[in-house]
Amino acid sequence: MLIISARRSMLLRARKTALNALANYKIDTKNLKLLEVSDSIAYRVSTGAGESYLLRQHQNPNLNSIAISSELSWLEFLHRKNFNSPQGITNLEQSFVTEVAVSSESKLLCTLMSWLPGRTRQERISLAPV
């Protein structure tokens, strides 16, 4: 029971952080769906206009805003070269990375990206020769 309530508490804090992060973007959030909890917490964000985005809360303390911005710049480069890659969305301050206070001493780095439709692969990919 304690494990379930600790996870529930973590997810409630993460949702609150996600909503605080989204307040820094020019989008009308209609729905927030949790997708995954790993080295980041990922949400699908749906808007009133029918658009979808990917919001990530970066949980890795070894990542900083420079490293995350570099990743999004690389994805932007790939997109300009006609690769089907997500694009970073800048916040109201024209930055790819949004810092959200989670306590008086702690901040989380969040990013918003364009949504690419697709599906999750359920089976493991084998490295064995075909």
What is the tens place of the pLDDT at every residue in 35-54? 989 889 999 999 999 999 99
Amino acid at 26: K
Spatial distance between the Cα atoms of 39 and 77, rounded to a whole number of angstroms: 24
Q: What is the structure's pLDDT at 72?
A: 93
Residue 124 pLDDT: 66
Q: Which domains does the chain have, with CATH numbers?
A: 33-114 (3.30.200)
Tell me the DSSP string of the chain: -HHHHHHHHHHHHHHHHHHHHHTTSS--EEEEEEEEESSEEEEEEEETTS-EEEEEEE--TT--HHHHHHHHHHHHHHHHTT-----EE--TTS-SEEEEESSSS-EEEEEEEE--------SPPP-S--
Please determine, for residue 123, whether its predicted confidence score (pLDDT) is greater than 80: no
Confidence of residue 22 (pLDDT cuts 50, 70, 90): very high
Interval 65-85: pLDDT, tens: 999 999 999 999 999 999 999
Rounded percentage of the chain residues whose pLDDT exceeds 90 = 65
Across all residues in the chain, what is the average pLDDT? 89
Q: Average the pLDDT over 111-118 and give the result.
A: 91
Give the mean model confidence (pLDDT) for residues 85-112.
Answer: 92
pLDDT beyond 80 at 127: no
